[in-house]
Amino acid sequence: MKLIRLLLLSSVLATMVLSDGKDNAGKLGLDASSKAIKQWEKIFGDAGKMAKLGIDKLSDADKEDLKKYLTSHAADSDHPQAAGM
């Protein structure tokens, strides 16, 4: 029983550590390259816009990871998200 608990805890912790903005973007149906960096920054600066996209339900750390991912892969970024990636 302790082994099962340990394995379950390990998998939960690994998921938390390895999750990033890309995972949350996929869950929310957000495409980083659909907007420019300034547009993503405006969304994250407006509680109503974040609520409309479901971002408001994320933890602060997840919001920060998501914002970093979306802005670093935005349409006008150095590394825009490629289709199907």
Position 16 scores a pLDDT of: 47
How would residue 30 be classed by pLDDT, with cut points 50, 70 and 90? Answer: very high
User: Could you read off the pLDDT of 44-57 as tens digits, one per residue?
Assistant: 999 999 999 999 99
Check the CA dihedral 64-75-46-52 and report its sign.
negative
Q: Rg of the chain over CA atoms, in angstroms?
A: 15
Whole-prediction pTM: 0.73
